[in-house]
Amino acid sequence: MRTVSLTEGSIVRGSLLFTVPLILGNLFQQLYSATDSLVVGNFVGSGALAAVSASNQIVNLVIGFVIGLTTGAGIVIARHYGAGEYAALRRCISTAYLFCLVGGAAVSALGIAVSPVLLHLINTPEEIFADSVLYLRIYFLGTLFNILYNMGAGVLQAVADTRHPLYYLCAASAVNIILDVLFVAVFRWGVAGVAAATLIAQALSAALAMTHLLRTREEYRLCSLRGDREEFRLILKYGTPTGLQSAIVSLSNVVVQGYLNGFGVAAMAGSNVYSKVDTFVLLPVNCLSLTATTFTAQNMGARRYDRVRSGLRAFLWIGGVYSIGVGIFMFFFSQGPMSLFSQEADVLHSGAMMARVLAPGYILLVFCQILIGTVRGCGHTFATMVLSVIDLCGLRIVWLAALLPLFPSLYTLYLGYPVTWGSAAACIALYYHFCVVPHIQQRDVLGN
């Protein structure tokens, strides 16, 4: 079986069968940036490592909106698939791919043009500015491939096929690792080498995903690149709030990066190193959130509303147990995995400070992400956008502006993350209880 049933059978078993390949696939995808940092940190130095760190937040900001739209497309595709509406399913896939081609090309061109301006806005230190611009511009060349891969993976995940994206990411990750070592350790290209390696690997994964969708005989095959007005409207309806949420929350991270840059290169490099480790340990959380979205959207399409409510409870239990375990591990033992990226004492010290603040709050982040995934799968993407922007962006910026001048410490900066995770989780839980549940109950009674 290439796909997993999410609309019948055991919720926990089906969800785990869907999530495990998704975790492995995202693990390999994260190896792109992690390998960049590992190779640069060990073969070039902390300055180059900080340059990669400064560029990453901008990349997340610029492409966040377009990738958010692919998430909206995934919701529509999952609903069509769950309802057995295969003609509409193919129209939606065709429309989404056409949009990604046009949008991805535009984002690449714009990103290359404004890279220096964006780096100036976040107070990038002068000693790493040239490397940051070079890395960012080469990375933006591959943004189109990044977006096309995410669209292809989104289509497959929406129909509960997480295995093929895993295969493609394994291949791309292997290519990226080999080229990173070749370009940096052998050819000595520095940050340009790791950016070029990532670009080539992203192009490979995008080509593999698109080729599969063109050649498959399943109902979700990519038949053409024609736009459909109604499907595009649905993609925008569910995707625009998600894209705005992603972009605006990424903007808050850019603001945090600007404050962080004021603490010096060692703090920037330490934050980058811990963020790499943090990204790996939190991969299952992000994947569980995507599982919640796909699971909920498919069951809403299939009118299995009882499974929507049962699914949320199961996801919260799974996520809660996992977050407690990794939180304890990262609080006490984070320096071990961080030492893979850098051996410099001040860099590891800054990363350990971040671990001691963030790790105890992981359970808040888990509940926040699972609730967002479930509410988004129910179609309430505008509400998740508003609540996420208020808490994860607005409150975080207020925290920095109000408290950092009074308590100028990295601890103050990092504490803003768990505080805003908890606030967002509470707000979205209240919205789910008072707005989403009554809506589901009403549809259940009406039978539509």
Cα(327)–Cα(348) distance, rounded to whole angstroms?
A: 18
pLDDT at 1: 41
Evaluate whether 359 touches 415 at the Cβ level (below 8 Å). Answer: no
| pLDDT number for residue 369 | 93
Give per-residue pLDDT as tens, 189-230.
888 888 888 899 989 999 999 999 999 988 889 988 888 889
pLDDT tens-place string over residues 1-31: 456 667 788 888 888 888 888 788 777 767 6
What pLDDT, on the 0 to 100 scale, is given for residue 441?
A: 76
Residue 213: DSSP 8-state: H
pLDDT in tens, 30-65: 766 667 767 776 766 666 666 666 676 677 666 667
DSSP 303: T
Domain boundaries, the chain: 11-446
Alpha helices for 6-45 (secondary structure H) = 11-43
∠ CA 175-162-1, nearest 5°, is 120
Sign of the dihedral defined by the CA atoms of residues 245, 232, 380, 30, in that order: negative
Q: Shortest CA distance to 376 belongs to which of 245, 282, 232? A: 245
DSSP class of residue 181 equals I
The tokens for 35 are 């390998």
pLDDT in tens, 378-425: 888 889 889 988 998 889 889 988 998 898 888 899 999 999 999 999
Residues 6+ apart with CB under 8 A from 326: 281, 282, 359, 362
User: What are the Cα distances from residue 22, in Å, to 16, 177, 290, 361?
Assistant: 9, 20, 9, 24
pLDDT value of position 341: 72
Taking the C-alpha atoms of residue 17 and residue 11, their distance in angstroms, rounded to an integer, is: 10
For 251, counting Cβ atoms within 10 Å of its Cβ (0-12 exposed, 13-18 middle, 19+ buried), the class is middle
CA distances from 131 to 79, 178, 197, 199 (A): 45, 22, 16, 17
Give the position of tokens 């995995």.
Answer: 337
Q: Is 340 helix (H, G, I), strand (E, B) or coil?
A: coil
Model confidence pLDDT, tens digit, residues 234-271: 888 888 887 787 777 777 777 787 788 788 877 877 88
Q: What is the DSSP-derived secondary structure letter of residue 380?
A: -
Lowest-confidence range among 33-42, 274-283, 365-374? 33-42
Amino acid at 442: Q
Task: Read off the tokens for 375.
Answer: 């509410």
What's residue 321's pLDDT? Answer: 93
**Residues present in the chain in total:** 448
